[in-house]
Amino acid sequence: AQSVSQHNHHVILSEAASLELGCNYSYGGTVNLFWYVQYPGQHLQLLLKYFSGDPLVKGIKGFEAEFIKSKFSFNLRKPSVQWSDTAEYFCAVSSSNTGKLIFGQGTTLQVKP
Amino acid sequence: NAGVTQTPKFQVLKTGQSMTLQCAQDMNHEYMSWYRQDPGMGLRLIHYSVGAGITDQGEVPNGYNVSRSTTEDFPLRLLSAAPSQTSVYFCASSYSRWGQGLENIQYFGAGTRLSVL
């Protein structure tokens, strides 16, 4: 069965600290990979996506993610977090043949000023 | 384009009542999906559709029905609401295109917050 696992459920960082959120997936066939962010009281926003090509993808707000096919991983990184990055982050995998998107459980990031 | 429109934004039901959450998209997307979001569980796929007349179950389909009679609309029906269905529901539509590979682009609605008492 297809699944997505996010290793960290709750992360607390100070401003300017570096961030890495882990994501592993189990999915047969060609996949599309995504990271979404949900700020408090708001709906989902797409941070970045990977379809093919360069495994290091850059998204909005200084976020980037690296796709490592051999490890079935798609970890999210940011060199220096800000208080405004406080939000919930979701890793997701889709099959391009069905539009079916499977989400991880989410990671709550709290950044202390 | 209005994108993906969900109605209502909020709803309170009593146990056993039925209702339909509406979802419409005006982008001519072939794929549509329904998700529910619960604390600590992320978003879980309820049902999805790959085109008009075609639907399939997702991860948590029990208690929900869907149909896709047109490309634009994908309503989600709760036949007999239960407190366990208290959640935030998101509808999404998407299409696939050939870029560097086959790419699927998702668009989400703003969500419906449902409480079942």
- Report helix, strand or coil for B61: coil
Interchain contact, A43 vs B40, CB within 8 Å: no
Per the prediction, chain A carries an average pLDDT of 91
Assess contact for B30 and B54: CB atoms under 8 A.
Answer: no
Chain B touched by A98 (CB under 8 Å)? yes
Chain B touched by A5 (CB under 8 Å)? no
Q: Tell me, what's the pLDDT at A72?
A: 93
Mean pLDDT value across residues B54-66: 95
Over residues A20-75, the pLDDT tens digits come to: 999 999 887 778 899 999 998 888 889 999 988 899 999 999 999 999 989 999 99
Q: How confident is the model at residue A96 (pLDDT cuts 50, 70, 90)?
A: low
pLDDT at B48 over 90: yes
Q: How many residues does chain A have?
A: 113
pLDDT at B2 over 80: no
Shortest CA distance from B96: residue in chain A: A96
Q: Tell me, what's the pLDDT at A43?
A: 80
Assess contact for B33 and B47: CB atoms under 8 A.
Answer: yes
- Residue A17 one-letter amino acid: A
Assess contact for B20 and B7: CB atoms under 8 A.
Answer: no
Chain B touched by A9 (CB under 8 Å)? yes
Angstroms from B100 CA to nearest CA on chain A: 6
Chain A touched by B90 (CB under 8 Å)? yes
